[in-house]
Amino acid sequence: MNELTLVLDNAGSTPLYEQIYQYIKNEIKSGKIECKTKLPSARSLARHLQVSRSTVDMAYTQLISEGYIESVPCKGYYVCEISLLYDINMPKKSTKVHRTKPVEEKLIDFTPNGIDLEYFPFGMWRKISRSILNEERKELFDSGDSKGDINLRRNICNYLFEARNVHCTPDNIIIGAGNDYLMTLLCRLMNRTRVIAMESPTYQRAYQVFRANDKSIVTVNVEKDGIDVESIRMTDADMVYVMPSHQYPLGTVMSIRKRNQLLKWANEKDFRYIIEDDYDSEFRYHGKPIPALMGIDNTDKVIYIGTFSKSIAPAIRMSYMVLPEQLMNLYEEKISFYSQTVSRIDQAVVSEFIENGSFERHLNKMRSIYREKHDLVISNLKEMGDLISIYGANAGLHIVIKVNNGMTEKELIDRARAAGIKVYPLSEYYIDGMEKEKNAVIMGFAKLNHSEIQKGISILKEIWKGNGGII
């Protein structure tokens, strides 16, 4: 090739090697230097441009690493064949749709999601976070145990024993960034399980995760004391997903009889398992807590999933799963390569939050705050008399009401909405499209204060009066 006609700018801010690199790259891209052309040797180009040899070396190294030229041993540098099918400078086409959600006006929102953050112990949280960061515990920034840090698992283990009567060891606990993640991990673990039995209505998110993980779902009958085990037997299901302490959304508590039947079913075949989602068991307002199903299982057939989303906060993204021995061995063998998904600092904060007693105090406080709200909701609703039936009271952060005024679910919701109140459709929790209740709605109360609850329900009382024909 001819000598490169490059004029270097010694005074500019661009390094010399980069000027050389840019020049040659542009000459190649524009076709001025053709493919297969031999470039001058680094030594001769350096002499020609009056720069050091290493400057040219750096430019050539960059051109090689980006594939514009190649070094042929004992021969020299050659321009590569570049089929520039895509113009690098062409603006990228975009079919962008702006996805911000419209801002909603201020409503009294009986959402079943979220918690009351008014009483969150920010002070303690800050204190623990500070003290952990102050210690400069460098190891907390390095990779940790794929199942989660041992201290946190030990504290969760103690908590489960005290509060839920669950006997496990820290070795059987896996921490993860939320229930969706842990259930996805579980689906990966259980890839021989094809069919999962679920109640209907049920927790939609679990259904969606199973479906997204290519599991088939069969819905089975539910009676007033829990899932109908006989109807599971009539399916191909090898796994069943239940919430024995407080079914979502109906609030049913599974009876001891049903629990035993379910364990018996699981024991009839190898590799049959029960997933117990114990999502809000911390909040039971009247009577003693309902013990976990895993607590009465001596046969290692229950997969227990718990979360800090309700008991601490949704945004900390922390859940835990207790696996039976057989599955834990499978986990170690098959999928323990998966990195832990929760940051080690967050794990250390929550671990200390449990260990120093803050978690227990916080739970007791929140239980009493939610109990007051719950009781207020129930006493206000009871003023509607026979107009409504209440389901799933005494626990959790929501209830279901059936409104017997002739209105459909949609009419109930639309009319409430027009009056500035949001209540939620029960029908969306049915996974087989065969909802039994066409006139029931879900009302959460965690995020509302007392006056909002009272105002909201008194408005509902007015607009749901038995004159459904007007709408």
Q: How far is CA 381 from CA 190, 410, 453, in A?
A: 44, 20, 10
Least distance to its own copies from the beta carbon of 131, Å? Answer: 11
Give the CB-side neighbour count of residue 213, counting CA atoms within 13 A. 25
The H-or-E segment that residue 47 falls in is helix 42-49
Least distance to its own copies from the beta carbon of 259, Å? Answer: 7
| H helix intervals, 196-290 | 204-212, 229-233, 256-267
Name the CA dihedral angle for 363, 351, 159, 279, rounded to a multiple of 10 degrees.
60
**CB-wise, 206 or 407, nearer to its own copies?**
206
**CB-wise, 167 or 367, nearer to its own copies?**
167
Least distance to its own copies from the beta carbon of 468, Å? Answer: 27
**CB-wise, 336 or 405, nearer to its own copies?**
336
**CB-wise, 189 or 403, nearer to its own copies?**
189
Least distance to its own copies from the beta carbon of 400, Å? Answer: 16
Least distance to its own copies from the beta carbon of 113, Å? Answer: 7
Distance CA(33)–CA(35), nearest Å, equals 7
Instruction: Give the residue from 271, 270, 277, 265 showing the smallest Cα distance to 191.
Output: 271
Distance CA(386)–CA(94), nearest Å, equals 57
Task: Kindly provide the b/e burial profile for residues 420-441, where b requires at least 16 CB atoms within 10 angstroms of the residue's own CB.
Answer: ebbbbebbebbbeeebebebbb
**CB-wise, 400 or 457, nearer to its own copies?**
400
Least distance to its own copies from the beta carbon of 262, Å? Answer: 11
Least distance to its own copies from the beta carbon of 467, Å? Answer: 29
Angle at CA of residue 230, ends 224 and 236, nearest 5°: 125
**CB-wise, 237 or 318, nearer to its own copies?**
318
Count of residues making up the chain: 471
**CB-wise, 177 or 369, nearer to its own copies?**
177
- Residue 36, φ and ψ in degrees, nearest 5: 75, -5
